[in-house]
Amino acid sequence: MAKALTKQAQKKKLEARQRQIANSTAMGDLIKRLDESKDYQLKTYGFELIPGFTQLQYDMLSFVHYQGLQKARCTRFDNFRNIVSILWPKIEWNMWLERQIQSLCDNQFVSWTGCAASGKTFAGALYSTVWWICQPDVSAAVLTSTTKGMLRKRMWSEIQKLYASMEWTPPGNMVDSKTVWQAVKGDEKNAVFGLAVKDGNTAAAVGHIQGIHTSRVLIVIDEATDTPQAIFDATANLYAGCEQFQMLVIGNPNSHFDPHGKFSEPKDGWNSVNVETEDWETKIQLNGEPGYCVRFDAERSPNIIAGKTTYKYLMTEHQLEGSRRKYGPESPLFWKFYRGFWAPSGVLKTVFNEPLLAKMDAHLGFVFRRNIKVIGACDPAFGGGDRAVLRFGQIGIIEDGKPGIELDMYEELEIDAASSEPVHYQLASQIQSKCAERGCRPEDFGIDASGEGGGLADILAKEWSPAIVRVEFGGAPSDLPVSSEDLRPAKEVYDRRVTELWFTAREYLQAGQLRGIDPWTAKEFCSREFQDERRKIKLQTKRDMKSVYGMSPDIADCTVILTEVAKRSGIGVFVGDHVREQDKDEYAEYAGAIYDDIGGEFDSLDAPL
């Protein structure tokens, strides 16, 4: 934390800031052009009367320093509206825009969650612009979106409009090709930055964020549900190193476990809020205090409350009713994009669900009595924008004496399009190298051998070892019993092999034997639906899941390959205090291997064991 300043030092610093705003290179042109002929009484908010200062400058000073508001019977929100009325007098205010800006004027850490067409992106851009131009020479506003295309389509598009529509010549230097609005030409520190943070841009974005060192920092994360956790982690460094820090996270609610859901979690837990709750305090943030979440429900759109379409850019009655008929009022898409709230458990039949993950402490790890070995898996997922995912895990005996599976963080394998080496061989080389680093043997490594994956499996079998574990997602389910409670063969219950694999992973979770599930894995497991109205349980196809959610379950697929490797290694599903019947033979071999391994410790003892 910054050291406390003496009153004299504070006064000198404030005077320097006043002179900086008055003489700022970035603000100079704007201030000089202000119309000072209007007849009004200046509100100085307790600042000394400075010749030539306009109301805009005093409101900017008050907004930055939180000064003189009570005496002037004003709020920071009043400062903000005064600034907007001068620079963008044509901006149309509505109830939702007021709530959005008010939340930022009053809170340091803010989450906006809600329906589509609620003006969240525009409000975030407006606040960022006003916040920055109040003191651009010592300020950095970092606006992120998932991809460069989405950045230009969403947040940066609004920044451009505000820049172009300002009543006076905008301060600073706009470099649109780099999505940067600099305080002065060439300033790479004090600026409004637009950053893409996904699809190969994550490392560069993290480095950029961590490299920002200036007095005031504002972070705005748009599309937060799909933003890598690394971006959130990088902001912690900025908080400790600046005088003023603020953070806004924007998203349509999807999962309690994704970064947006975790940032928005209520102070008293998810059971303390429901679909009728419009705002709440969140868990403790970096400043040691709760944050604030504001929610926007399409059923309470200003247009719907007014009974007419007053604001064409906000949700209308016609749009809401059309979507209700198209998707159904209980569909997850309707909850996400229209109700603006996390869909309750049971709305859809999904293989995993969030209450189950929370109940089983799936995000935690195990304390192994004995760490037996490392296992690995890969879902090659060729083509169609799917990812080649690699994952390792550990299997061993956990505290209550039963075997457990703990997942390590997954990683995406890189493909060099410019390389002359075929893709299959690139992936095979990376897999062998990473398995060697982790100490994973071929017989403990599984790979999807369906379709294109079969070619990669053949290469690994030839180049590395034929002992690799081939896992077929296609074809018929096995003859093994479904569970200890349901002794029917899997082929009579599930429609295909991939369905059996996914439900086997769920059995490990329900038995308390599967942990280390990160938010992205949880999101995929909790999104893939199944149907059981007919004779057999049918898992949603990859194609259908991608069309509904815009994502392929590559991480979850890789995880079920890993649990299949664990199963073939002898990790049986326990029911109560015993291994289920269909896993007994494999578990006996596994247990025998354990005692074979430790038996040497007792060779010198005379008593029989």
Span 404-452, pLDDT tens digits: 999 999 999 988 888 899 999 999 999 999 999 999 999 999 999 887 6
Distance between CA atoms of residues 526 and 269, nearest Å: 19
pLDDT at 384 over 70: no
* DSSP codes joined into one string, 566-598: HHHTT-PPEETTEE-GGGHHHHHHHHHHHHHHH
**Helix%, strand%, coil% for the chain, nearest 5:** 45, 15, 40
Distance between CA atoms of residues 261 and 280, nearest Å: 13
The angle formed by the CA atoms of residues 54, 56 and 58, to the nearest 5 degrees, is 75
Tell me which range, 70-74, 213-217, 449-453, 541-545, is most confidently predicted by mean pLDDT.
213-217
What contacts 607, CB < 8 A, 6 or more positions away? Answer: none
User: What does R_g of the chain's alpha carbons equal in angstroms?
Assistant: 29
Q: What is the pLDDT of residues 485-524, one digit of tens each?
A: 678 899 999 999 999 999 999 999 999 999 999 988 998 9
Average pLDDT over residues 2-30: 52
User: For residue 557, what are its two tokens?
Assistant: 């697929």
C-beta separation of 183 from 193 below 8 A: no
Q: What are phi and psi of 590, to 5 degrees?
A: -65, -45
Average pLDDT over residues 376-380: 95
The model's confidence at residue 82, banded by pLDDT at 50, 70 and 90, is very high
C-beta separation of 166 from 87 below 8 A: yes
C-beta separation of 155 from 143 below 8 A: yes
pLDDT mean across residues, the chain:
86
pLDDT at 133 over 60: yes
Distance between CA atoms of residues 272 and 267, nearest Å: 8
Domains located in the chain, CATH noted = 12-87 (no CATH), 102-344 (3.40.50.300), 354-596 (3.30.420.240)
User: For residue 104, what are its two tokens?
Assistant: 């930022």
Helix/strand/coil (H/E/C) assignment for every residue in 487-532: CCEHHHHECCHHHHHHHHHHHHHHCCCEECCCHHHHHHHCCCEEEC
Residue that the structure tokens 């790890």 belong to: 365
Category of 186 on φ-ψ map: left (φ > 0), alpha (ψ -120 to 50) or beta: left
pLDDT, residue 39, reads 46
pLDDT at 21 over 60: no
pLDDT at 160 over 90: yes
The model's confidence at residue 36, banded by pLDDT at 50, 70 and 90, is very low
pLDDT at 348 over 80: no
| 3-class secondary-structure state, position 392 | strand
* Percentage above 70 pLDDT, the chain: 85
The model's confidence at residue 67, banded by pLDDT at 50, 70 and 90, is confident
pLDDT, residue 605, reads 30
Q: What is the pLDDT of residues 253-264, one digit of tens each?
A: 988 888 899 999
Distance between CA atoms of residues 598 and 238, nearest Å: 50
